[in-house]
Amino acid sequence: MYVAVKGGEAAIEAAHAWLAHERRGDPALPELTPEQIAGQLSLAVDRVMSEGSCHDRELAALAIRQARGDLIEAAFLLRAYRNTLPRFLAAEPLDTGAMRIRRRISATYKDLPGGQVLGPTFDYTHRLIDTAPRPAPAPPEREADGAAVPRVSAILAQEGLMAGEAPDPGGPVPDLTREPLPFPAPRALRLQALARGDEGFLLGLGYSTQRGYGNAHPFVGEIRVGDCAVAVTPPELGFEIEIGDVLVTECQMVNQFAGSATTPPQFTRGYGLAMGQAERKAMAMSLVDRALMARDLGEEVTAPAQDQEFVLLHSDNVEATGFVEHLKLPHHVDFQSELEKLRSIRARWEAERAAGDPARREAAE
Amino acid sequence: MTDALPMRPATRDAAYNFAYLDEATKRALRRTILKAVAIPGHQIPFGAREMPLPYGWGTGGIQVTAAILGPRDVLKVIDQGADDTTNAVSIRRFFNRVAGVATTTDTRAATIIQTRHRIPETPLREGQVLVYQVPMPEPLFRLEPRLAETRRIHALADYGLMQVKLYEDIAAQGEVGSSYNHPVMVGGRYLMSPSPIPGFDNPKMHRMPALQLFGAGREKKIYAVPPWTEVRSLDFEDHPFRPVRAPHACSLCGSTGSYLDEIVTDDRGGRMFVCSDTDYCERRR
């Protein structure tokens, strides 16, 4: 391969070789396999798939290894990869109501049809670092039975207390990864942006709504984690076929709405959905989704989490890290003109100060 | 530094489509570019993709280049005016790998020049395309961050906000505050960010024979200045726009008309000034 200039090239080659060496760690120890990462660091894989907008456990695991465990870098690798794939079909909407439940809890009811299923959760563990060697844990005694479990939102809707969702506007679902975000953004695009948004950023924003920046009174109506079938309808067949399962986490956050002249007081819901088991992400997403509905509901928009442009244009960590980190690139051309500009302004300032020019001072004040 | 003749194309990495992006995406990009050329200076939204280089490294410029690149093009990539800065090397290597096109450092030999922060000193000619990497395409973003609002301002050509900002700079410090990325009016209609080129380069945009394309990947906008279009730096009659360069001659080629980098040579205040445009400088030595 030919490259026109050699100086930077040699430096880049050397840096890449050093990086590869550092990434590998102690060569006396075996290299991590993607299977180990996918199996034992599964929540990291889940996060990378969500923020990378690409469901592929094996590739996400490879990306995490290549990124030395930097999950934003891994998500970036996955994003760059997905753009090389042809898009042949859009899936039918996931039926999360028919999810094969691994975990399902509601904070709004003590017990409810389908029951509370704790599943594999850190929630009630004691956070003590376990230094003892670990025997292989036993498999779960009883898998969830797979029966469909009704949604909490449906229970509230029966009573007329849950606001209905706006009807499907029809037409193809807009795609954030193919078209730029318009503002104001419709909810479908807001949810897409939040789904790939940075977990930490959304967590902080969701948290801010609980602390008075956006008047939220949230309750976890339901969190469910489980496998959902993905179905597509190939045009040449004309009927749905299932092409596989994905593990997802769904959160429905119930919020009050004061009502208006035309709408009775009722509950509204914020919605969160993330790939894999990602409760923190799904919960934060549902809080921010609800906050972003303020405009549509005629609520006063006062807090950052309610501001569409602020939230949606700053939640993407691949975009954010790119722009922040690009400050490492050389900027000496611009800095040179800043230097000359500062010298010029400074010289003028000093000359005026020496001359004691009162008219200038007045004009500046 | 190697000789400046166009170099033989490398073998393209067949694992990727020509120039990385699939054909449908490149077609969509070309439609956006055509629209941008039809409305000089107006920002056209487009569905920017993640590229294998990070946002901020020139993904907008890379996508524009990918969309217009053909197998017979000769590509030059500069960053800070130089062909040998790491990011320029990296982008050139990327297109070398995924498109296998010939690359050059010679401004005159290139058909497409992708740049970050500079316009080459050697005047461009008709048929060449200058592709700018743009971080913030909205010239008003420091005054009005809301895109819905700036879209309205552009629709009404209501640019008083920017004139007032320049006026306030002059009132407070005697001259305008912007040394780079100084806003321009394109074709007398749209206020446009020239990207963070030094003000020194702004006059080169005016009636340039080459096509100027601007790509902002993270902000998902493309805009253009067609050949021979009027581009005026925003100023006042009594405070005309003043391009600035360091008041020295290049230590290597002696140029007194080119933009200079200031090199710190010791810790006792020693300075050396050299051309930022490495191709121009080498040709003059």
The string of pLDDT tens digits covering residues A145-168 is: 667 788 888 888 888 888 888 888
What is the average pLDDT value for chain A, to the nearest integer? 89
Residue A351 in domain: no
> How many domains are there within chain A?
2
pLDDT at B11 over 90: no
* Structure confidence at residue A4 (pLDDT): 44
Question: Is residue A208 domain-shared with residue A115, that is, in the same domain?
Answer: yes
Rounded Cα distance between A147 and A145, Å, is 6
Residue A29 in domain: yes
Say what the ipTM of the complex is.
Answer: 0.76
Question: Is residue A58 domain-shared with residue A197, that is, in the same domain?
Answer: no
Which of A293, A316, A339 marks a domain boundary?
A: A316
Residue A346 in domain: no
* Structure confidence at residue A158 (pLDDT): 83
Residue A187 in domain: yes
Residue A147 in domain: yes
Q: Which residues of B touch A75 (CB under 8 A)?
A: none
Question: Is residue A155 domain-shared with residue A52, that is, in the same domain?
Answer: no
Which of A316, A335, A351 marks a domain boundary?
A: A316
Residue A215 in domain: yes
Of A323, A327, A334, the CB nearest to B117: A334
Of B1, B47, B199, the CB nearest to A180: B47
Residue A33 in domain: yes
- Does the distance separating the beta carbons of A341 and B174 come in below 8 Å? no
Which of A30, A53, A82 marks a domain boundary?
A: A82
Question: Is residue A208 domain-shared with residue A231, that is, in the same domain?
Answer: yes
Residue ranges of B 73-112 with Cβ closer than 8 A to chain A: 76, 79-81, 83-90, 92-93, 96-97, 103-105
Question: Is residue A34 domain-shared with residue A101, that is, in the same domain?
Answer: no
Active site residue B199: no
Which chain B residue is nearest to residue A308, measuring alpha carbons? B146
Expressed as residue numbers, the domain containing A180 is 96-121+143-165+175-316
pLDDT, tens digit (0-9, with 9 covering 90-100), for A185-201: 999 999 999 999 999 99
Residue A333 identity (one-letter amino acid): V
Question: Is residue A53 domain-shared with residue A198, that is, in the same domain?
Answer: no
Question: Is residue A27 domain-shared with residue A149, that is, in the same domain?
Answer: no
Question: Is residue A192 domain-shared with residue A299, that is, in the same domain?
Answer: yes
* Structure confidence at residue A95 (pLDDT): 92
Question: Is residue A76 domain-shared with residue A101, that is, in the same domain?
Answer: no
Residue A218 in domain: yes
Question: Is residue A117 domain-shared with residue A209, that is, in the same domain?
Answer: yes
Residue B16 near chain A (CB below 8 Å): yes
* Structure confidence at residue A148 (pLDDT): 75
pLDDT at B185 over 50: yes
In angstroms, what separates the C-alpha of A307 from chain B's closest C-alpha? 10
Question: Is residue A78 domain-shared with residue A101, that is, in the same domain?
Answer: no
Of B8, B93, B262, the CB nearest to A336: B262
Question: Is residue A115 domain-shared with residue A252, that is, in the same domain?
Answer: yes
- Does the distance separating the beta carbons of B96 and A2 come in below 8 Å? yes
Three-state secondary structure readout of chain B: CCCCCCCCCCCCCCCCECCECCHHHHHHHHHHHHHHHHCCCCCEECCCCCCCCCCCCCHHHHHHHHHHCCCCCEEEEEECCECCCHHHHHHHHHHHHHCCCEECCCCCCCCEEEEECCCCCCCCCCCCEEEEECCCCCCCCCCCCCHHHHHHHHHHCCCHHHHHHHHHHHHHHCCCCCCECCCEEECCCEEECCCCCEHHHHHHHCCCCCEEEEEECCCCEEEEECCCCCEEECCECCECCCCCCCCCCCCCCCCCCCCEEEEECCCCCCEEEEECCHHHHHHHC
